[in-house]
Amino acid sequence: MYVTEHIALRYCQRVIGIQSAPECKEYIEQNRPEIEQHILVMFKKATWIYCGKIGEGNPKSNYYVYENYLLVADKENENAVTLALIKYPFPRATIIKVVKDLTREIKRKQAKYEKVAAVTDKQMAKEKAKFDALDQQANELRKQLQAIDQAKKESRHAMVQIRAKPEALEEEIRELAFQICYGSYYTGHQRKSG
- Phi then psi dihedrals of residue 60, to 5 deg: -65, 130
Distance CA 97, CA 187 (A): 119
Q: Tell me the domain boundaries of the chain.
A: 2-87
Give me the pLDDT at residue 47, please. Answer: 95
Question: CA of 61: how far to CAs of 46, 74, 77, 176, in Å?
Answer: 15, 5, 8, 96
What share of the chain in percent tops pLDDT 70?
Answer: 94
Give me the pLDDT at residue 164, please. Answer: 83
Distance CA 13, CA 92 (A): 17
Kind of pairing between the strands at 47-52 and 2-3: unpaired
- pLDDT > 80? residue 23: yes
Give me the pLDDT at residue 105, please. Answer: 94
DSSP category for residue 58: P
3-state secondary structure of 91: coil
3-state secondary structure of 43: helix
Question: CA of 156: how far to CAs of 85, 92, 151, 159, in Å?
Answer: 81, 88, 9, 5
Q: Which amino acid is at 106?
A: I
Other C-beta atoms closer than 10 Å to the C-beta of 152 total 10
Q: Are 26 and 96 in contact (CB under 8 A)?
A: no
Summarize pLDDT for 68-120 with one digit per residue, the tens: 999 999 999 999 999 999 998 999 899 999 999 999 999 999 999 888 888 88
Q: Are 134 and 126 in contact (CB under 8 A)?
A: no
Average pLDDT over residues 163-171: 85
